[in-house]
Structure 1
């Protein structure tokens, strides 16, 4: 039908440049569009776009449809201006012109100036209000279903009603409602009818993320397909009668019924709709905000990068205590997977237009701040020796010998297991290579600091070890600063091998590993429930003889047995915290993101 869409191209090309007039900045407003009736099917589609204020209580329908891929290559005339739309919307406009012309519609691709980022932010922010205030949400599934009319005569009865001397509406007459009900409730197992039901059920429309809000907020819904229209409840009856499945429109209907029962929290929506599709990955979050029962106040800004949006979600949920009993890092992984696919490289994660702004890197010293995420950790041990870099293990045998000497010195009572783990660690360094190792650990100093008291006997990690930690820190002072740094550059230069000890357990199962390069003796290696990376926590005594210690996460680490793990974003092994000292730690969003790398 592209030849039809291109009809009268010369007329369109001479039209004004833009159909948009600025929306009011003082009053809540939007735009509506009317499709002008045509004398012939191949006449150009002519639309009138106009601004309205919500205070005027405008009457309108809202269109819900698939944008589709490709360019907006089909032309319409919008306020006298040439305006390009995609094929599916062009088909919908032609359908509405035929069956319900001169009705006011809200259509996102037309009513929002997509080139105006500030307007787009404002309008997307109020879309849940728009779909709620619409008299009817009109679902357009496409023109392809008209082909079923030849084999299903009853389908021809499911058309729009045009009462005489009245404005065309999408509402069927009472007689037609009965006809609709009769047609939809017929329990026939006709093969053609089932084929139609299956195609409707599997329509790609139901995979769209935006329909969760568009259908979820609607007060009345019409489903249009081919030349037919059904009320939502009759459409669902027709689909469920054929017992095709519980996904697609059936699942959406169940969610509509449960929308006031707590299933519409932001977290639940993120979990339920992680596979939903949208053109802009930012809509994986923004498309759910309007439907979430606990997301009022969340700021929508399409100018932000994917990473910034991820941070916004995490900090918003933390500020409003929305994590429930879910693991914070696992939720972070869920949101990250929705916004960024596996091939989303760091540059794409931070991609955005530069805007001068004040970057806040202030150290936060209180765990009550919404930027401080509280997690429970289990201490594996305290660092007692910081070893060589990976490339030194590979090319400097003297460094390897010194490492082995320290193994003998530090693990005299468990030497067999210690040598076995050391050999496994060195083998991993030799086998994995520099580029793979460089992605195992990261220098990520959290901006969150928190204080504990060493005289608090409930905090065993510090209470039982503070004197020993002080000795280790003092004894190793200047150890790394005096080293000769290689002039040859390696991508894993920021990493260090380390040895650790848990005085309480004696023969600890994990004795060594690889950590970010700023690791120091006296640092604590701690596991979280998720992911497989450990965090490096640095305790610092505020003053000599003081009982107050300041803690901060300064990097990440991987124990020997996890070095060959391909995906370190997975959860810890079962009983990861069994018989280990517990420690409550605090991280910022940036550090959680790094843990998920």
Structure 2
């Protein structure tokens, strides 16, 4: 069987590809990849998952051709496979030609819209264990109980009924099972933030078990689990009542996103920025920040900082060479650290017309003049 080759997709409009997971072909998995557009859009689900390691690839069939995918992609498709009907999905690893930087950048800019327009987002947390099956089964019981009431305030009462006959050690197992899920790599991945935040509805899948994201988001509180800032912020943005009443509905600027999710992980360092652009409401006011994989990482960081500190409209050269790690390390004292770089006389850019404007702007933001080491 020939290896699969991507056909070019238009980069001018908002076209993207969808994947049809075919019924009756579980081993190997068979799919069809086809072009889609907002004007002619069928119902589809968007997959949110962790790519995983590439060292143990698996084979699937797309359009009668062979393609290798990571083990996680294969397992996710296997777990959501429905023997009785075809499923239409958006899966980034397959719907985007990952070897085409121009296409990847253009498609990344559309990801927020793609997840928002999906009928639902499928959050795949990985393979099941005894502990995860145990908590997933009890969350499903809670979900079924909620179907018989219109009052979401009764969730604590319904949960009490679900667990009323459990022994203390069984209740401990529920806590352990949820903690196992919350420590899955999905919660660390930066791309899941916009995938979850843009979802109109979502389900959580682990192995063969599933539960709605709105029920899952209630579980830490019901089990008395205190989450760290990063994990809590992700729970807050899961679709459901908790999202509508959280910080997500009030403050979604880029700085807040970078700060709350500064511990997120990505294979490509610039993705720790790019993945947040589609959910930062203040980004819509500028054309400066776009996912462009052709740019040097230092340029990506400089453009991001110039936007955050409001000197992105000035036509100036890059006057510091920070990495992505430097940006996150200095978020709390960003104006001060950038001012230190601006005042370093070794930079030739100091004679430019824009130099004084940048310094003035940073001082107005409360930055203080100090003599420090060169950050270039």
TM-score, length-scaled by structure 2: 0.75
Is the CA contact (8 Å cut-off) linking 1:46 and 1:78 kept in structure 2?
Answer: yes
Does 1:220 pair with 2:207?
A: no
Which structure ranks higher in relative contact order (CA pairs < 8 Å, sequence separation ≥ 6)?
Answer: 2
Partners of 2:60 and 2:136 in 1: how far apart?
Answer: 33
Aligned position for 1:21? 7
Correspondence list, 1:433-472, <5 A: 443-446=346-349, 448-450=351-353
In structure 1, how many angstroms separate the alpha carbons of the residues matched to 2:224 and 2:186? 19
- The offset of 1:442, in angstroms, is 7.9
Q: Which residue in 1 is equivalent to 2:363?
A: none
Shift of 1:315: 3.0
Query: Counterpart of 2:92?
Result: 108
Q: What corresponds to 2:306 in structure 1?
A: 315
Equivalence for 1:260: 249
User: 2:295 maps to which residue?
Assistant: 304
Instruction: Give the aligned length.
Output: 328
Of 43-52 and 331-340, deviating more is 331-340
Q: Secondary structure at the match of 1:291?
A: coil
| TM-aligned CA deviation for residue 24 of structure 1 | 2.7
The Cα of 1:22 is off from its aligned counterpart by 2.0
Q: Shift of the alpha carbon at 1:230?
A: 0.9
Report if the CA contact (8 A) 1:146-1:226 is conserved.
no
Give, in angstroms, the shift of residue 192 of structure 1: 2.2
Counterpart contact for 1:64–1:139, Cα < 8 Å: yes
Secondary structure of 2:283 counterpart:
coil
Question: In the aligned structure 2, how far is the partner of 1:92 from the partner of 1:272?
Answer: 28
Residues 407-556 of structure 1 aligned to structure 2 (within 5 Å)? 443-446=346-349, 448-450=351-353, 529=368, 532-533=371-372
Cα distance change of structure 1 residues 82 and 317 upon mapping to structure 2, 3 Å threshold: same
Report whether the alignment pairs 1:38 with 2:38: no
Given candidates 46, 51, 76, the residue that maps to 1:92 is 76
5 Å-filtered alignment, 1:63-462, equals 63-71=47-55, 73-98=57-82, 101-145=85-129, 148-149=132-133, 152=134, 155=137, 158=140, 177=147, 186-187=162-163, 189=168, 190=170, 191-247=172-228, 249-255=231-237, 256=243, 257-262=246-251, 264-296=252-284, 297=287, 298-319=289-310, 335-337=324-326, 443-446=346-349, 448-450=351-353
Query: CA–CA distance in 1 between the matches of 2:148 and 2:369?
Result: 57
SS in 2 for 1:48: strand
**Alpha carbons of structure 1 residues 96 and 185: separation in structure 2 relative to 1, 3 Å:** farther
Structure 1 residue 449, shift from structure 2 partner: 3.5
CA offset at residue 183 of structure 1?
A: 6.6
8 Å Cα contact 1:281-1:339 kept in structure 2: no
Residues 109/376 of structure 1: CA separation in 2 closer, same or farther (3 Å cut): closer
Cα distance in structure 2, aligned partners of 1:117 and 1:184: 52
Cα deviations by residue, 1:542-595 (Å, 9 ceiling, x for unpaired):
xxxxxxxxxxxxxxxxxxxxxxxxxx4xxxxxxxxxxxxxxxxxxxxxxxxxx4
Decide whether aligned partners of structure 1 residues 116 and 153 sit closer, same or farther in structure 2, where only a CA change above 3 A counts. Answer: closer
Maintained 8 Å contact 1:72/1:84 = no
Compared CA separation, residues 147 and 88, structure 1 to 2 (3 A): farther
Aligned to 1:62: 46
**How many angstroms does 1:450 deviate by?**
4.8
Kept in 1, the 8 Å contact 2:188–2:264? The answer is yes
Deviations 1:481-513 (A, max 9, x none): xxxxxxxxxxxxxxxxxxxxxxxxxxxxxxxxx
Question: For structure 1, which runs of at least 5 residues remain unmatched after alignment?
Answer: 1-13, 160-171, 323-328, 341-372, 380-440, 452-527, 534-567, 569-594
Q: Deviations over 1:310-359 (max 9, x none)?
A: 1221333345779xxxxxx9x9979552589xxxxxxxxxxxxxxxxxxx
**Cα pair 1:146 1:227 within 8 Å, conserved:** no
Gaps of 5+ in 2: 150-154, 238-242, 314-318, 330-336, 355-366
Higher percent of residues as helix: 2
TM-score normalised per structure 1: 0.49
CA RMSD of aligned residues (A): 3.7
Counterpart CA distance in 2 for 1:249 and 1:38 is: 38
CA 1:376–1:122 in 2, change beyond 3 Å: closer, same or farther? closer
Give 3-state SS (helix, strand or coil) of 2:187's partner.
Answer: helix
> Residues 154, 199 of structure 1: CA spacing in aligned structure 2 closer, same or farther, 3 A cutoff?
closer
**Contact 1:184 1:237 (C-alpha < 8 Å) held by counterparts:** no
Instruction: Measure the CA separation in 1 of the matches of 2:104 and 2:218.
Output: 37
Deviation at 1:99, TM superposition (A): 6.8
Q: 1:157 to 1:221 in 2, by over 3 A?
A: closer
* 1:101, distance to aligned residue in structure 2 (A): 4.8
Alpha-carbon spacing, 1:226–1:336, altered in 2? closer, same or farther (3 Å): closer
Q: How many Å separate the matches in 1 of 2:107 and 2:227?
A: 33
Aligned to 2:361: none
Contact kept in structure 1, 2:270 and 2:324, CA below 8 Å: no
Distance apart, 1:153 and its partner CA:
9.6
- Shift of the alpha carbon at 1:246? 2.2
How far off is 1:119 after superposition? 0.5
Tell me the SS of whatever aligns to 1:23.
Answer: coil
CA distance in 2, matches of 1:102, 1:49: 13
Q: Distance in 2 between matches of 1:54 and 1:72?
A: 35
**Which has the larger Rg?**
1
CA contact (8 A) 2:18 2:35 kept: yes
